[in-house]
């Protein structure tokens, strides 16, 4: 009996160390399992997050990439949909002859050529909405039936934001000059018109495209000057120079300068006012209205250059505009290491600063919209051939670039341009305009680019605009007159 008790006690003593070891091993295995589980959960969450990011931010870009061959393959099964103006007029359609041959047709010929683009080159709206134009609403059974019968489905129609009356007015006003006109609704970003010249007839593209590619860059008809052209902004850049001064100097109303027709800064260069104008005593608002180079070529030396550069980059200098269609990046190079002459030239929009008309439009639109820059867009909605809406574009805020108070101040300056400064073309119109004139030197000749940016009505902006006439223009005194033709059409004033 005692021997049995001793044996049982001995067994108990012998099992305790083994139990501890087993529990340690089990705990170790549990930890390893947990670590592996956490790793797989983390990987899953990362992949899920990327898929969400891809679908929200990248999918549309990948889908409409001209190198995406999967989309091109849809052309074997789908007849490309129509592109329509805001009022329903057809801007692009596909004609099918008796033998089934398809031809892309552009009823307005040259008028919408750059903004609508070419289906073959996937430019303009043809590129932006390439996927939608080749998509269909047919169910899988109908698609299989079409595949078996050899018949093609009809792609969605795309309704643009473009207004033919404005487009035609801008096209006519530009005449035979090189340049661009672009207009949009500042509160939404809806692009209302976009014209670029020299132009081309997109109906002739099958025969002429190779020849067009060989044109010199200065005469290129394929270049959309509204979005791809880069120019010295000239005095239109004074919008940002003035804004930075207002931001750094709350007492800006006390600014004073006596203009003698030119300004010299020690170590720099002499900057003349346009046509040698002597403006006399100027405050900041009047200097802006008169586009006094003496004021703005010297203001830069009172600015914090790092903050000045940051302001310009907040307004999307040195950044991709991401507007869907092909565009160039505007450049601002001034920094704390820049020389005296460069600071002078930058303040008046000369030197190394370059901007596209579309970007200049976005800048003035943000002023019109009290500091909020909206994302420009060209497609209002996508619909079936029968008119059923598939999707619509929701206006999207791109960035808040300045405060409402700052925007209002610059808006007052822009209004003064028209009421007491260089914006003389709008003195007797029934609508009120706020804007900024600009002349930009671009070579060693006397030729200059003529700019006008702005918005109307001043009290409640409905349209913002940017016009540039390249140097050597004829038939019009300047960009203001082209703008007036656009606004007359918008407000039906003839």
What does 112-167 look like in DSSP terms, one character per residue? THHHH--TTTT-HHHHHTHHHHT-----HHHHHHHHHHTPPEEPPEEEES--HHHH
Rg (CA), the chain: 31
State how far the Cα of 379 lies from the Cα of 82, in Å rounded to an integer: 12
**Cα gap 297→349, rounded to integer Å:** 9
Positive or negative: CA dihedral 336, 338, 305, 312: negative
Residues 378-394 have pLDDT tens digits of: 999 999 999 999 999 99
pLDDT value at residue 123: 97
DSSP secondary structure, 401-418, as one string: -S-HHHHHHHHHHHHHHH
Note whether residue 88 is domain-resident. Answer: yes
Q: If residue 466 lies in a helix (H) or strand (E), which one and from where to where?
A: strand 463-469
Is residue 261 domain-shared with residue 318, that is, in the same domain?
yes
208 in any annotated domain: yes
Same domain, 156 and 265: no
The pLDDT, as a whole number, for residue 358 is 98
Q: Tell which residue, 449, 189, 172, has the closest CA to residue 321.
A: 189
3 belongs to a structural domain: no
With tokens 């005469």, the residue in question is 219
292 and 358 inside one domain: yes
User: Would 387 be classed as within a structural domain?
Assistant: no
Say yes or no: 139 and 259 in one domain.
no
Token output for 353: 């600063």
- Contact indicator for 426, 407 with CB cutoff of 8 Å: no
Write down which residue in 115, 144, 161 finishes a domain. Answer: 161
Name residue, tokens 């501890």.
20
Cα separation, 146 vs 168, whole angstroms: 40
233 and 112 co-located in one domain: no
Per DSSP, what are the bridge partners of residue 453? 436, 466
User: Does residue 32 sit in the same domain as residue 130?
Assistant: no
Query: Number of helices (H) and strands (E), helices first, in the chain?
Result: 17, 19
- Tokens 């850049």, residue? 237
Give 270-276's long-range contacts (Cβ < 8 A, gap of 24+): 271/297, 271/344, 271/345, 271/348, 274/235, 274/439
List the CATH number of the domain containing 371.
3.40.710.10
How far apart, in Å, are the Cα atoms of 479 and each of 209, 282, 420? 30, 25, 18
Structural domain contains residue 385 = no
Residue 13 forms part of a structural domain: no
On whether the CB atoms of residues 319 and 282 are closer than 8 A, the answer is no
Could you tell me if residue 30 is inside a domain? Answer: yes
Same domain, 308 and 451: yes
244 and 261 both lie in a single domain = yes
Same domain, 424 and 293: yes
Q: How far apart are CA 248 and CA 22, in angstroms?
A: 72
Which among 161, 181, 200 is the end of a domain?
161
Nearest-angstrom CA–CA distance, 173 and 178: 11
288, 372: one domain? yes
The rounded distance, in Å, linking the Cα atoms of 305 and 395 is: 34
Q: Same domain for 178 and 299?
A: yes
Using alpha carbons only, what angle is made at residue 260 by residues 352 and 275, rounded to the nearest 5 degrees?
60
- CA dist 483 and 451 (Å) reads 10
pLDDT at 10: 47
Residues in a beta bridge with 451: 438, 468
The C-alpha atoms of residue 164 and residue 81 are separated, in whole angstroms, by 19
CA neighbor of 179 nearest in space, from 451, 466, 438, 468: 468
363 and 306 in one domain? yes
Full domain range(s) for residue 140: 72-161
Residue 130's alpha-carbon distances to 34, 52, 78, in angstroms, are: 48, 22, 12
pTM (predicted TM-score): 0.87
Cβ within 8 Å of residue 152, ≥6 positions away: 77, 78, 79, 146
The verdict on residue 484 lying in a domain is yes
- Other C-beta atoms lying within 10 Å of the C-beta of residue 304: 13
Q: In angstroms, how far is CA 419 from the centroid of its own chain?
A: 30
pLDDT at 144: 53
Q: Choose among 167, 162, 185: nearest CA to 85.
A: 162
Q: How far apart are CA 264 and CA 341, in angstroms?
A: 10
* Contact (Cβ atoms closer than 8 angstroms) between residue 459 and residue 175: no
Of 43, 63, 83, the residue at which a domain comes to its end is 63
Question: How confident is the model at residue 19, as a pLDDT?
Answer: 62
Residues 107, 202 contacting (CB under 8 angstroms): no
Listed as ranges, residues in the chain with pLDDT below 70 are: 1-29, 51-72, 138-150, 493-494
Which pLDDT score, from 0 to 100, does residue 355 have? 98
Q: Which two tokens stand for residue 323?
A: 């507007």
Residue among 339, 328, 327 at smallest CA distance from 300: 339
Number of domains in the chain: 3
pLDDT tens-place string over residues 152-186: 899 999 999 999 999 999 999 999 999 999 999 99
């Amino acid at each position: 009996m005692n021997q049995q008790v001793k044996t049982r006690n001995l067994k108990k003593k012998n099992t305790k160390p083994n139990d501890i070891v087993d529990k340690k091993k089990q705990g170790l295995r549990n930890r390893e399992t947990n670590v592996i589980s956490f790793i797989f959960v983390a990987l899953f969450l990362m992949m899920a997050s990327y898929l969400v990011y891809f679908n929200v931010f990248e999918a549309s870009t990948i889908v409409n990439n001209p190198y995406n061959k999967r989309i091109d393959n849809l052309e074997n099964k789908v007849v490309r949909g129509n592109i329509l103006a805001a009022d329903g007029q057809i801007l692009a359609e596909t004609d099918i002859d008796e033998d089934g041959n398809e031809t892309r047709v552009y009823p307005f010929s040259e008028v919408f050529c750059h903004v609508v683009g070419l289906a073959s080159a996937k430019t303009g709206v043809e590129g932006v909405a390439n996927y939608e134009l080749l998509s269909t609403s047919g169910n899988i059974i109908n698609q299989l039936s079409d595949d078996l019968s050899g018949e093609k489905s009809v792609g969605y129609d795309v309704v643009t934001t473009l207004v033919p009356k404005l487009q035609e007015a801008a096209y006519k006003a530009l005449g035979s000059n090189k340049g661009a006109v672009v207009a949009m609704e500042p509160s939404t970003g809806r692009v209302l018109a976009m014209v670029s010249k020299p132009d081309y007839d997109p109906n002739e593209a099958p025969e002429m495209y190779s020849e067009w590619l060989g044109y010199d860059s200065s005469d290129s008809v394929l270049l959309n000057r509204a979005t791809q052209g880069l120019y010295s902004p000239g005095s239109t850049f004074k919008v940002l120079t003035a804004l930075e001064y207002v931001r750094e100097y709350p007492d800006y109303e006390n600014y004073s300068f006596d203009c003698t027709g030119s300004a010299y800064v020690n170590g720099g260069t002499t900057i003349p006012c346009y046509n040698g104008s002597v403006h006399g005593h100027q405050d900041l608002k009047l200097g802006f209205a008169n586009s006094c180079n003496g004021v703005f070529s010297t203001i830069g030396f009172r600015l914090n250059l790092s903050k000045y550069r940051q302001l310009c980059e907040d307004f999307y200098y040195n950044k991709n505009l991401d507007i869907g269609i092909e565009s160039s990046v505007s450049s601002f190079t001034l920094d704390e290491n820049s020389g005296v002459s460069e600071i002078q030239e930058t303040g008046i929009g000369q030197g190394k600063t370059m901007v596209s008309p579309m970007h200049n439009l976005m800048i003035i639109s943000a002023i019109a919209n009290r500091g909020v820059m909206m994302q420009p867009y060209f497609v209002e909605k996508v619909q079936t051939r029968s008119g059923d809406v598939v999707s619509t574009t929701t206006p999207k805020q791109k960035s808040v670039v300045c405060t409402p108070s700052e925007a209002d101040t610059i808006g007052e300056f822009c209004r003064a341009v028209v009421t007491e400064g260089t914006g003389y073309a709008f003195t007797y119109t029934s609508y009120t305009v706020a804007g900024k004139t600009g002349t930009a030197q671009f070579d060693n000749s006397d030729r200059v680019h003529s700019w006008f940016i702005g918005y109307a009505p001043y009290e409640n902006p409905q349209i913002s605009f940017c016009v540039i006439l390249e140097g050597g223009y004829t038939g019009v005194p300047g960009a203001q007159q082209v703008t007036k033709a656009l606004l007359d059409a918008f407000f039906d004033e003839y």
